[in-house]
Structure 1
């Protein structure tokens, strides 16, 4: 359910400025290097010093105290983040793997796999790309984040947490994401160690769930279900991938905050139905959240999604939806403090912006749609899809150089199918080991919803203009933002000039009090035989005298 507009308006926004400041200085250090990070840190320190002096010596210190405290907190926290990211960049520049003598040459490296290998599409032999923690074999204690590209043979079956040794070619990072190098392997890994116990459990559950899906569902649906539930896209066909990309549904095949919110919401509904208290329910839901993180792989992107999903839990404990904004800002600060590379991660930006849109923008859209006669449930779905699409479309254009005009229609069409698939699929994956037949039965219950999603993506992907190319980078984002803002500005001007105040729609959108019909005065009901002057004649004569005194005739 979407929060009411009053909750959004009355939200505590004091953490918004510190979160934005931390994010900005971290981006400056990660993209601009040592000089940009140091300059941002110095600027924050100057602002902090000036604010402290102004607060101490100003004659209007009492009146300016709230604003000055906010500036001090923002500048202080941002300066700390700027110093941390600058020190991180300096450490990466002096890492042994970043030495000038290694660039373009081969070396033996010790690697720790950080996520499931992702198969790269393109001509030639299949290859994979996977994030790793790398170190030169001669100095195994100096580890840093890196990106590895390798042949699929021998590498695609590796599990996160495994330690391997391989001969790699060291190149510069292909993007500014706080990685030390981009590594390229041409042969299979050597000296492969066993993954940790929790990763072996997660791998067994994922393999068993994928096998049950292949046994119970058709080809397209069997590859889609593990992707929707666990983020396992290894069995997803190329045609389904292309259809989902063209109609703006690719985000469904990656574990996002919505997955965690749906799973936690289902758990909370069951616990509340059983009479469990609110705080106890939140603790149990957090335990389920942690188990789900392990099941879908605790990579930084998954943990980021879990943090976004945990915003709802914090709001639940606080007992009011207006706590979602400070919870979201605190989640951004904590996530950037633990994983600074998330500042330049497109998925992190999309997740934060979509969550903020659902909190701030969706309530107003929902109420506007309800005002023109849209049913409440349909208005909720439309508001969620519109808010997320409006806010994330410029970011998608900046990152990928594409825009999906049918994205809103596609997300609305499949919205009702996402929650049942997520809940039933997660439960099926959990019980597939103890009871394979029950797990297969739950998977079969997902078949109609999966068919609907595959069919919807297939139909909408064939619509002319379903996916349009736009300039990538900041220019494309500005063009898309202007394209989205133009209709809103036109409606605002239409209402402002008075043209939208006539007609059935204009009358609903205009809320001026002077155009509303004045209701007739309330009339007092008189019950026959109960009038006071009939019951007591003296009271009736007294009231008639007062009435004549207040309203004298024309002759007086």
Structure 2
């Protein structure tokens, strides 16, 4: 079954990427291999026995070819069904249509050009457009106004709007809804019951602190919409992200609890199977019937199967069956990262877990051995894929999961109990919710302290060679692990080496580079710049969007003192990482732009600085000061610029603090996100300005005053930008003219950290990749 699962997966991937021709070629491979094997066996027997009789084509090859072909064919039919139907055709024409369908997802807030919008998914049952009405069933992504937040899952609604082509294969179109939805029918009783439990659960934890109030529902039903982004990052670094989303772990805990409870009240035999099936169905309703939930339910059921008698063999067979069935029902899972991680984790537990557990059980209690082996083997199996996605290998994941394990079960079960008991009595539900909150408080502590360790995660390349090396290392560890863990000496030594690697940050040879004067940190889609003011001292300009990323950059630079932090403006990609700058460092002062907009960024900066005993103040126009080796002059905004904005993103960009810095004779223009109008004003007020290094405004956006930028004569142009961002940054319209002047243009998305160095009067650059 595992081999057939791989065949099904390969068939879906080939069909998705190469179409029908590639599918036929792929399906022919196992048949050809089987035929070749038959000929070799037949020739061998004829030589030995004087007989030309040969066995039939090996059944495994034929069945694998069949499964591969069927899986690929189902994928092609599914994609054709989504891409070639009346809704998709109307979308290609940009038609306005009226649709009626069933809401299949919870509403999510998405940032729009003119404000936040609400995104939901619909299963469209009828569509009317171009004078014709069609009955069908096809998925559509809908973007609408605030009224869509109040539409319960499972409701049948009618609405109209503009259809646009979808950019993915999982939806026939994008519907830009006009007006409010019209409810045609209520959700069926199962959806209403699940909604009542979810609502009761939220009431039972409403009195808890923010993190606990958000995490308890995430553990029970996978609703992570209220989880703070910083906390989510800490869970990611420590390998605990699976607790924030719907996963097989959730189902295993909840259904396992129901089975224990059923046994306690006397349920036996086949009735236990019924209890398990009802528990799985209830979990799916509670967590929503989205593809990720169905996948988690199936993988959780496989894990439960693996816990029984002859669990390894039954579980492995069950995993193979689950993969094949899921890919036939939902072919889009073949390209889902979540599906791959679930399958790898489950496979790691089933295949690697028993030998690791048995090795540890030679000198540890069996329950301790199992507690270590399960998270270790699951994490090990997922390591190459996680590195390919995030570019990191978590070194604390096993320890963090081990520390979290004792409270995950109680927190999940108590959370569900709080939701159920709250239907009867809010007071009783609140008691269960409170205890569940105490349990998740420990999870928060584990995630925050684990992520703060010096080497919580190891940066790893995402290219073919680094990932191939990591995959080989993973296989070696999987094979050698049981031998090392079988003896107390080698087992404890392995644990000590891992602990040392986590607690002590290994030095990076040649980093920071000698003579560095400025670094543009690779923090994704945002700015975080460091000017070297002296040993272990730096002036920081902007904090990027991620506290962990800017903190890591400053740690690598060995910066422990920040006499001045300048936040050019209050957009999230420049201020959300402020806690990462403040954490563990002596910060002298914080300066910002005069324009107090957007309000959310202003509040975040105020809260972060107040917690550190600081108060942000506006940078003074035309002020010049010297901080160690750094000389700074504020060029923008002017002293008569506004202090309150209209909430327009361009206005906030235009109010960016622009600094002219000089470090060891190197002149640097730090331009924030200033817009073309502001650049033109600077050109008028500072004719003849020349610099050595230009931080390209607004992440290399196409909206620039190129005459001004080119007139600066910069020899180095730095672009701080995130890979695969949604804004189209940077633009070739900006970069190509800069390169034409002879400037060396570097980008953080391609080159990592960008370092400007000065050695013996010569200007140079070093990159992190």
Q: Same fold (TM over 0.5)?
A: yes
* Structural mapping, 1:182-201, within 5 Å: 183=174, 185=176, 187-193=178-184, 194-201=186-193
Residue 231 (structure 2) pairs with residue 202 (structure 1) = no
Task: State yes or no: 1:345 paired with 2:339.
Answer: no
Question: Structure 1's 24 and 229: CA in aligned 2 closer, same or farther, altered over 3 A?
Answer: same
- The count of aligned residue pairs is 484
1:94 corresponds to 2:88: no
Question: Is residue 2:18 matched to residue 1:29?
Answer: no
Q: Deviations over 1:331-383 (max 9, x none)?
A: 11111121111121211111111111111101122223334x44433322221
Q: Is the 8 A contact 1:103 1:172 kept in 2?
A: no
2:164 to 156, 167, 170: 170
Residues 108 and 418 (structure 1 numbering): CA distance in 2 closer, same or farther, change over 3 Å? same
Alignment counterpart, residue 157 of structure 1, candidates 150, 157, 165 = 150
How does 1:154-303 map onto structure 2 within 5 Å? 154-164=147-157, 165-174=159-168, 177-181=169-173, 183=174, 185=176, 187-193=178-184, 194-215=186-207, 217-303=208-294
| 1:283 to 1:198, Cα distance in 2 relative to 1, 3 A | closer
CA distance in 2, matches of 1:100, 1:68: 49
Q: 1:5: which partner in 2?
A: none
Classify 1:50/1:78 alpha carbon distance in 2 versus 1 (closer, same or farther; 3 Å): farther
> When the two structures are superposed, what TM-score results if normalisation uses the length of structure 2?
0.56
| Equivalent residue, structure 2, for 1:142 | 136
Name the structure 2 match of 1:458. Answer: 448
8 Å contact kept, 1:109–1:137: yes
Which residue of structure 1 aligns with residue 412 of structure 2?
422
Cα distance in 2 for partners of 1:502, 1:141 equals 66
SS class of match (1:242)? helix
Using the alignment, how far apart are the partners of 1:158 and 1:22 within structure 2?
Answer: 37
Q: Report the CA distance between 1:420 and its aligned residue.
A: 0.6
Matched, 1:115 2:101: no
**Which residue does the alignment assign to 1:538?**
none
**Alignment partner of 1:369 is 2:355:** no
The range that moved more, 285-294 or 275-284, is: 275-284
- The answer to whether the 8 A contact 1:48-1:72 is kept is yes
Q: Secondary structure at the match of 2:246?
A: coil
Residue 248 of structure 1 and its aligned partner are, at CA, apart by 2.4
What SS does structure 2 have at the residue aligned with 1:214?
coil
**Is residue 12–residue 72 contact of structure 2 (8 Å, CA) maintained in 1?**
yes
Residues 1:506 and 1:337: Cα distance change in structure 2 (over 3 Å): closer
Structure 2 vs 1, CA of residues 16 and 129 (structure 1 numbering), >3 Å: closer, same or farther? same
Gaps of 5+ in 2: 495-769
Alignment map for 1:375-414 (pairs within 5 Å) = 375-414=365-404
Q: Report the Cα offset of residue 263 of structure 1.
A: 1.6
* Greater fraction strand: 2
Task: Give the secondary structure class of the aligned counterpart of 1:99.
Answer: helix
Structure 1 position 81 matched with structure 2 position 71: yes
Q: Give deviations 1:42-91, integer Å, cap 9, x for gaps.
A: 55676688889999999699999698122222222222222222233333
For residues 192-247 of structure 1, give each alpha carbon's deviation from its aligned partner in whole angstroms, at most 9, with x where no partner exists. 333333212212221121121112x2221011101111112233233322322332
* Greater helix proportion: 1
Hey, what's the Cα distance between the residues in 2 that align with 1:212 and 1:71? 55
Residues 119, 152 of structure 1: 8 Å contact kept:
no
CA, structure 1 residues 120+251, in 2 after alignment: closer, same or farther (shift >3 Å)?
A: farther
**Cα distance in structure 2, aligned partners of 1:235 and 1:306:** 23
Which stretch of the first structure deviates more once superposed, 32-41 or 282-291? Answer: 32-41
1:526 matched residue in structure 2: none
SS of 1:272's partner is helix
Deviation at 1:22, TM superposition (A): 0.9
- Tell me how far apart the structure 2 counterparts of residues 433 and 347 of structure 1 sit (CA, whole Å): 33
CA gap 1:65/1:156 in 2 versus in 1, 3 angstroms: farther
Contact preservation (8 Å) 2:30, 2:62: no
Structure 2 counterpart SS, 1:276: coil
Aligned to 2:301: 310
1:123 & 1:501 partners in 2: Cα distance? 59
Aligned equivalents of 1:232, 1:26: Cα separation in 2:
29
Other structure's SS at 1:115 match: coil
- CA deviation after TM superposition for structure 1 residue 288, in Å: 1.9
CA 1:152–1:63: 2 relative to 1, 3 Å: farther
Alignment CA distance shift 1:283-1:452 (3 Å): same
Alpha carbons of 1:358 and 1:316: their partners in 2 closer, same or farther (altered >3 Å)? closer
Check conservation: 1:397, 1:476, Cα contact below 8 A: no
Instruction: Kindly indicate whether structure 1 or structure 2 has the higher relative contact order, using CA contacts under 8 Å at least 6 residues apart.
Output: 1
Distance 1:63 1:352 in 2: 42
Structure 2 distance, partners of 1:62, 1:508, is 60
What per-residue deviation string (whole Å, max 9, x for no partner) do you get for residues 432-454 of structure 1?
Answer: 10232222111122232111111
Alignment CA distance shift 1:155-1:45 (3 Å): farther
Q: 2:238·2:447 contact (CA, 8 Å) conserved in 1?
A: yes
SS in 1 for 2:354: helix
TM-score for the superposition, normalised by structure 1? 0.76
By how many angstroms is 1:120 displaced?
4.2
Q: Pick closer, same or farther for the CA change 1:503–1:245 going to 2, 3 Å.
A: closer
Q: Which deviates more, 222-231 or 77-86? A: 77-86
| Stretch of structure 1 that moved more, 455-464 or 326-335 | 455-464
CA gap of 1:52–1:487, structure 2 versus 1, over 3 A, is closer
Q: Which residue of 2 aligns with 1:333?
A: 324
